[in-house]
Amino acid sequence: MADSTAPPGDQAVAAPPASQFLPTMELTVLTEEQRGAAISVRMLEAEVLRRGDVSPEEVKASVADLLPPVTMLGTALLTLPYFHRKLRNVITVMGAPLTMHSSWRIMMTLATKINAEAEDRSAAVDLLKAVEAEGRRRPQPDGSRAAGGIAAADSSVSAGKESDRYAHNVAMRFRDAAAKFSGGLGESWSEYMAEYQQVARDHGLTSTQKLNFLHNLLRGDTKRFYLDRMAHVGSFAQAVEQVSLEYNSFIRQNRVKAYLSGLRMATFTAKGHDVMTALERTYHEITRLSPQVPQSHHGDAHKVDFLRMLW
């Protein structure tokens, strides 16, 4: 019989409950991406069950953070048997049961139920539809050319995994809200696009991949605007032009010009910055936003005029 008088420090600590997520799966046989996803879900499950006070919304938000659409619907996890079924089950165990429409399959349920933001749900559903369409288009090997068919399938899977890796890397580079373009008056589309182009060069993305991953750069109203027009976009250049026409219009250019004309160092000194820091901040603001003013005010002389107005 256990000694009920034992001090708290000597009492045995209860072992965490066994994971319900792929409990018999041997992780060493998985790829690095599959293993990382499985371990992440198991760690989240253990944390949620340990705390015991996590709301269903928090559970779904945590899963969405761990497994963004490009990961959840990527080739690595789509080829892992029962991953999505077990994921739905463990989300239920964690206290966030997912209502499943009779005509939906499990992946559609996950795509639509764990993402709180409408734009994220839309992106997940679009990606799932693209994955399913690609699966229908992919030729199946027949008996007369089995060897060639298998080789083609292996090549297609390999290319798919490579594309999924690129998609994941791009999504991670623009994961933070501050890295995304929302169309705010203080945001320069050309500046954000330059950053995106650099990421594309870092990963050697094709024009098609740059188009497919562009939504990662956008958030809020800008992302909704872009998704609404995706059906009419045929190339990366057209997509960039669509956003540029909307968020670098003549009206917007004049709004930026009016903002710079009214910019004062006092805006920054009032926030506690010293004079030199305030001057640097205002100079940076003028340099950053000048490309957005009307073409007639792009010259250095106009930048000097904006600086003179600071006094």
Dist CA 97 CA 88 (whole Å): 8
Dist CA 58 CA 49 (whole Å): 13
The Cα-based distances of 277 to 101, 115, 186, 280 in angstroms read 57, 41, 19, 5
How many CB atoms are located within 10 Å of the residue 200 CB? 19
- pLDDT bracket for residue 17 (50, 70, 90): low
What mean pLDDT value characterizes the chain?
75
Dist CA 180 CA 187 (whole Å): 10
- pLDDT bracket for residue 109 (50, 70, 90): confident
Q: Is the pLDDT of residue 199 over 80?
A: yes
Q: What is the mean pLDDT of residues 94-113?
A: 78
Q: Which residue has the higher pLDDT, 131 or 72?
A: 72
How many CB atoms are located within 10 Å of the residue 50 CB? 11
- pLDDT bracket for residue 297 (50, 70, 90): low
Among 2-16, 51-65, 127-141, where is mean pLDDT lowest?
Answer: 2-16
**Could you say which DSSP state residue 6 is in?**
S
| Token representation of residue 229 | 């027009």
Q: Domain ranges for the chain, please list them.
A: 18-134, 160-247, 250-308
- Concatenating the DSSP letter of every residue in 251-270 gives HHHHHHHHHHHT--THHHHT
pLDDT at position 279: 79
pTM of the model: 0.43
Dist CA 266 CA 264 (whole Å): 5
Q: Is the pLDDT of residue 6 over 60?
A: no
Q: Is the pLDDT of residue 135 over 70?
A: no
